[in-house]
Structure 1
């Protein structure tokens, strides 16, 4: 079986892919923005050139005469000079009716202007296909000093010239994109080194198991510490009562301790396929709940089958859910935590942990499972890890995690057959 990629390699590939995607998006944006800028520059250039020509006294005088040949002789060299100096592809000076007086192709002089002539003497910019092909052009009215319309001037740049300008600017866009991708690749490589320094070449499943094991040891340790602390207090009290000669009261304390523990032991041992590790966890959490003044309730149905989780993962899932429930219930009126295990309709295992806390806002019902997100204070131990780990473990085993309100209840559904990890 092929060896799974290490978590460091996965982090590298994920960040590198993100850098490439961002690079492609940035390149696309820069190309579109450059194209828009070149188009806008062409429109401005044609508008400025056409307006300058239309205001020329030489053009006005030539167009007021009825001699088109003389007007052409006077204005054609002028128009060609403007085309060369302004970087345009054509300048067409025409009569009021649209008859060409000038044109870069002298064979077109005397023909009709191909383009839109406004019905009133106003400037108009458009993209139109004329004798030189598709072009961006601006047509401007030529008026005499008395305001009378004497002709039109059109200046234009072909789309081919615009495309050439765009191609000349593309290398800059590609250079910017390459720099961004390079920075992203460097960041991915750095993240890989840092991750490898922390996790070595371990695959994600192994890292997750390590976190699960740590969480299991932590929650078991806390539970056993609470249980030891409670029993120690009761034993010290019983010893003190015996020294005072109050034997019956000492017996009552010890009997109550035994009775409370035995009730939970009976539920755990009554389960035919029970997990002793989970039983130990529940016993310890019972002491922890009492220590925090929380009403602790456990309900385990005897026919609950074994889940698909390992003992370590079972403790990690159950322990984190109970810890969250206790944190939520602590300080609330009638603080209460209830744990229930029973068979699912499909033959699996259902684990429910409810609490009397203030509840989870609906908008946060999914975010609470994100790694790093927590409603606890920023300095809380394990902040943002517990529920993310719970979901990871449960989903890897083929189960589901749901949360509901009134009261707040986390419901874990697991298959009954243990699934091997590959």
Structure 2
């Protein structure tokens, strides 16, 4: 184990740190995190549109189209919001105007991705062209295309600004007006570029990017057990060195996580069947079934700490139990510490892997549905599992069973840790 940790620390961590701090990946991560309130609120409306109470469906039937509006304009057009927020953060990192960066990113995305629909009358005559957009094209299916077009757009804008290829106004002109004129040439370049690619070359950026990313996405967040285990294992290994696992992997996997849950939400909204959704290993699957109390399922360890007869360990349990209930585990990870701890790091790494396998089997066997909503990560585990799976009691039961298994897995290592702490205190 020590040999493996040394190899990872020497060769793997430096590369991972560089990836995690890469400008474009950080902008993607921050931009997608910025859309979190929209996703959560959209998910809440999906949940309450499908409460399993007799007569509820009939009660809201006359209002369903209206109640569906918040979902359509949050989750349903998420790629549009992502283009703006990612463009904003990327422009900010380059110290060019963030607002212009976001607006131009939306422009580039719309021109390159969206084909205006035609309105045809009963006689098959075209009565309108180019005045209406298909809202479905702005959903999760275009998320990766939005990311790529945003990066291209902001890079073009940044280069033109840095090369002073802009219209400069006198210093007496208000800043807002000056920035608007400075964006004229970049706007023209971006329009001509994406217009030419889409309609001149007949090249679909979004379609190509989605096709290229699909194999990796299907591996990590689809229904592949190996990919699910790999994701969990990498997160835990980073945490074992004191590095926030989700923060390091986030720039790479968060777009896939977000696309996965958005696809699930949209598929559920269309079918109403949470057992037949595209993606099993969403972030929510890990949150509610695997990372109970935070990465490493550390709430189980906090509860065991409360039973300790050693005052310092029991005090650590008291300090970490409440944050752990709400899935905040930095106090126990760094306070114990679990980081680089040769005893506790073993269950910290392998307990989530075991729970991933158990939860995968429970899902594919039909005992629990897949995740169809995105809730705040601070939601109490079993309740989050219940609500995120279309009110599945089986999902809540699985979360409780997994938590009990986590306590059993941690127990022998906790006792060994307790014994070592007792010895060290006796020697002082």
TM-score range, shorter chain: under 0.3
Q: Which has the higher helix share?
A: 2
Q: Which structure ranks higher in relative contact order (CA pairs < 8 Å, sequence separation ≥ 6)?
A: 2
Which structure: greater strand fraction?
Answer: 1
TM-score (norm: length of structure 1) = 0.21
Q: Taking structure 2 as the reference length, what is the TM-score of the superposition? A: 0.21
